[in-house]
Amino acid sequence: MDPIKVFISRKSEDSKWGIELYHYLEANNIVCFDSTISLPKIGSTQFRKTIDEVLEQSQHMILIASKIDFLHSQWVHSEWDAFENEVRSGRKKGNLLLIISKKIKIQDLPITLRQKQIFYLEDKPYQEILPFLGHSGIPKHIKEKHPIQRKQVIKICLAVFTALLLYFFLYPSKTSQTVENDKVTNPDSMFSVTENRFLKKGLDKKVALQEFKKLTLIKPALGYQGAEVFQKKAISTPFMKDTYLAISEELIVFTDSLLNAK
């Protein structure tokens, strides 16, 4: 795995913002860490130990919060506090940046964070933070704003969507049987089957969510992987993006509750 440059710290309720930032930074060749996406890729079940190791190697931290209380949650507070202590001791030279809601007043922030560079979620300031991460060059997404290119992309997406609708209408899936907990002998294998049925064979999103939840009860790490599957669906189906991201967030919260209960 490439060295982590940016650690994204946020509460699970802000996963939508963290995931969006993660994909933007990765698209601009900045290796970063977001727990929802990165932990399943690393493959460790020792989440606290893995997060500490990533914090150790990260050069910068971006702290996301849509509510003031999220900055004081146990895990989020411990992450930014540990990073700030490393900076103050001289062991780190990077930046701690805040992306918060405009509803949060500066005077309500912990005094340590008031002096940091602050951006606002509502502005989606992803391009503006690049210089603070040592990034040089033109962000890739600027090229995508050309009106002719956008029209071409929209036409291609509509054509692909129409073709998929025709395919699923003419050739409905024959494998609609749901996963039963007592029959699952290999949850990883069953996860792959469900992922394939959902992404390629038109399995209903509600059925897919229920199957991922059942597998999560057996192996919690699969919950985060399932959330990433819905994120992929959101990218490939732009007109349903908000729906699939909301389902992804629901699965993340479900998984977090299982892990916290343990």
pTM of the predicted model over 0.75: no
How confident is the model over 175-204, as a mean pLDDT? 73
- pLDDT surpasses 90 at 13: yes
The burial of 42, by beta-carbon neighbours within 10 Å (0-12 exposed, 13-18 middle, 19 or more buried), is given as middle
Sign of the four-CA dihedral 105, 108, 110, 112: positive
Banded pLDDT at 107 (limits 50, 70, 90) = very high
How many CA atoms lie within 13 Å of 31's alpha carbon, on the beta-carbon side? Answer: 9
- pLDDT surpasses 70 at 72: yes
Which residue has better confidence, 81 or 158?
81
Tell me the per-residue pLDDT of 115-169, one tens digit each, with 9 for 90 and over. Answer: 999 999 999 999 999 999 987 645 554 444 445 566 677 878 888 888 777 766 6
